[in-house]
Amino acid sequence: MSEFDVDLFVIGAGSGGVRAARIAGGYGARVMVAEEFRFGGTCVIRGCVPKKLLVYASRFAHEFEDAAGYGWTVGEPTFDWPTLIANKDREIARLEAAYIATLERSKVEMVRSRAVIEDRHTIRLVKDNKTVRAKTILVATGGWPHMGPNIPGLEHIISSNEALHLDAMPKRILIQGGGYIAVEFACIFAGLGSEVTLVYRGENILRGFDDDVREHLRNEMRKRGIVVTCGHTVTEVGKAGDEFSVKLSDGSSVTVDKAMFAIGRRPNCMNIGLEKLGVRCHEHGGIEVDAYSRTAVPNIYAVGDVTNRVNLTPVAIREGHAFADTVFGNRPTKVDHNLVPTAVFSEPEIGVIGLTEAQARKELAQVDIYKTSFRPMKATLSGRDTRVFMKLVVDGTSDRVVGCHIVGPDAGEIIQVLGIAVKMGATKADFDATMAVHPTAAEELVTMREKAASYKRAAAE
């Protein structure tokens, strides 16, 4: 008899854990996965998917308005939040069932329990206080919203988790944060008709994105009535009946029906038994792993947000798959974290890949910038005040396109496809040689001829 109950024990059935379990199962490994909440993890249950459904819902208001310019008469539209949430929950339940069915097909044993590591081969299932012996352990426990310092009234503040399950839509909401989750929820609530205030402590929203993109989106959000307040923080939240009075660091206060924080996420790597084994993990930085997702303990691996590398679903999935190929498929596979395309489902949407202008100027000897901003065709008849923004960052020495930044309708869809070209090392000349598709917004990406700026680093730099 084997000294182990299973070949692989996966802690966490989110994007990374489920993929790893399924692929390892396919290689014939005996796999058990423990999940303390719901199968599917953050992406399916309280992240990408429910959020995108709310994004779709929020965009109808503009569609109704814009239709008038095209000759349609639309009656006064009304919106029912409980219907949206119930329908969204039904879809999430369907997806969770699909995840479970996939794991069943791969003969993966599923346990609904919190799991903690006792020693390098033993896992304790907290619910039944049982132990399981595993040859290999994969930690795929994801991340959790960070709520910041313990300010007065913190207990009244919701995170993105609760925002997806509110009983009623808030007429007024204040969101603190400047990252993509804060921005997306601000646009969702504004689209659905809430009065939205976005408070961010930094100079401008979306730190890490190209500066032109940040400025463009901020302006577009303002046009949609979102109050964007930078350079301040929330210091206190007081409750009076159903209302909340949110105090800011400049002494001002805003009265709202809900206050939400989206100020970052922390990896779920503490209190699961890793520290005592010598696995390096940090409350901010996540679990330290090598290129094969292996921790300092040779039979313990970690993938996804808990390793805090690139915290996106497709990356967690790729890491989980690569882990299973490496350990159970006899095919050592590293994940390339370079040039990951990504989207922000704001209104308008953002799609980006590669270097920002500032990063390119730091890293490259010569940088050429091409950019354009224009009114999308659809906005002509509708009369909507909105503009598309596009920028190409080109390595002036090799002519390679090293960055592409889009703000406008379908930017996420565009950047997915453009990502292939950029990943393959397409040059600006390749872009120029590609025939435009007319009339589209994306055609601008292959018709920009005039450099907006060109930078050369002095020889001594």
- What is the DSSP code (8-state) at residue 435? P
Site for ligand FAD (CB under 6 A): which residue of 25, 142, 178, 341?
142
CA distances in angstroms from 283 to 176, 192, 275, 442, listed in the order given: 21, 35, 11, 41
Site for ligand FAD (CB under 6 A): which residue of 8, 10, 12, 25?
12
Identify which of residues 152 and 285 has a Cβ nearer to ligand FAD in the complex. Answer: 285
Residues carrying an active site annotation: 438
Stretch that binds ligand FAD, among 209-217, 242-250, 298-306, 352-360 (CB under 6 A): 298-306
Identify which of residues 305 and 368 has a Cβ nearer to ligand FAD in the complex. Answer: 305
Between strands 342-344 and 453-456, the pairing is unpaired
Q: How many CB atoms lie within 10 A of CB 104?
A: 12
Sequence letter at residue 431: F
Q: How many residues bind ligand FAD (CB under 6 A)?
A: 36
Site for ligand FAD (CB under 6 A): which residue of 194, 308, 313, 326?
313
Site for ligand FAD (CB under 6 A): which residue of 8, 10, 30, 35?
35
**Closest distance between ligand FAD and the C-beta of residue 141, in Å?**
4
**Closest distance between ligand FAD and the C-beta of residue 15, in Å?**
4
Identify which of residues 127 and 156 has a Cβ nearer to ligand FAD in the complex. Answer: 127
> Which one, of 440, 420, 425, 414, lies nearest residue 351 by Cα?
414
Burial of 177 (0-12, 13-18, 19+ CB in 10 A): buried
- The residues in 43-62 that bind ligand FAD, with binding defined as CB under 6 A, are 43, 47-48, 51
Which helix (H) or strand (E) segment holds residue 235: the answer is: strand 234-240
**Closest distance between ligand FAD and the C-beta of residue 180, in Å?**
7
Identify which of residues 268 and 295 has a Cβ nearer to ligand FAD in the complex. Answer: 268
CA distance 294 to 287: 10
Determine, following the binding rule CB under 6 A, whether residue 371 of this chain makes contact with ligand FAD.
Answer: no
Identify which of residues 14 and 408 has a Cβ nearer to ligand FAD in the complex. Answer: 14
**Closest distance between ligand FAD and the C-beta of residue 374, in Å?**
26
**Residue window 94-133: x/- pattern of binding to ligand FAD, with contact defined by CB under 6 A:** --------------------xxx-----------------
| The 172-176 sheet, strands edge to edge | 227-230, 195-200, 172-176, 258-261
CA distance 216 to 198: 16
Stretch that binds ligand FAD, among 83-91, 301-309, 421-429, 434-442 (CB under 6 A): 301-309
**Closest distance between ligand FAD and the C-beta of residue 261, in Å?**
12
**Residue window 176-205: x/- pattern of binding to ligand FAD, with contact defined by CB under 6 A:** -----x------------------------
User: Which residue is listed with tokens 């401008």?
Assistant: 204
Site for ligand FAD (CB under 6 A): which residue of 32, 34, 134, 158?
34
Identify which of residues 353 and 394 has a Cβ nearer to ligand FAD in the complex. Answer: 353
Stretch that binds ligand FAD, among 72-80, 88-96, 253-261, 312-320 (CB under 6 A): 312-320
> Which one, of 335, 28, 16, lies nearest residue 8 by Cα?
28
CA distance 353 to 359: 12
- What is the DSSP code (8-state) at residue 310? S
Burial of 115 (0-12, 13-18, 19+ CB in 10 A): buried
- The residues in 253-282 that bind ligand FAD, with binding defined as CB under 6 A, are 268, 272
Question: What number of helices (H) and strands (E) belong to the chain?
Answer: 12, 24
**Residue window 150-169: x/- pattern of binding to ligand FAD, with contact defined by CB under 6 A:** ----------x---------
Determine, following the binding rule CB under 6 A, whether residue 33 of this chain makes contact with ligand FAD.
Answer: no
Identify which of residues 48 and 277 has a Cβ nearer to ligand FAD in the complex. Answer: 48
- Dump strand ranges (E) for 12-129: 31-35, 109-112, 115-119, 122-125
Identify which of residues 305 and 444 has a Cβ nearer to ligand FAD in the complex. Answer: 305
Site for ligand FAD (CB under 6 A): which residue of 122, 235, 311, 359?
311
> Which one, of 10, 20, 8, 100, lies nearest residue 316 by Cα?
20
**Closest distance between ligand FAD and the C-beta of residue 378, in Å?**
24
DSSP per-residue string spanning 179-191: SHHHHHHHHHHHH
| Cβ contact 245:197 at 8 Å | no
Helix axis angle for 48-67 and 180-192, nearest 10°, is 40
Determine, following the binding rule CB under 6 A, whether residue 348 of this chain makes contact with ligand FAD.
Answer: no
Phi and psi at residue 206, to the nearest 5°: 60, 55
Stretch that binds ligand FAD, among 35-43, 248-256, 349-357, 413-421 (CB under 6 A): 35-43
Sequence letter at residue 210: D
Q: Name the site residues for ligand FAD (rule: CB under 6 A).
A: 11-17, 34-37, 41-43, 47-48, 51, 114-116, 140-143, 160, 181, 268, 272, 304-306, 311-314, 316
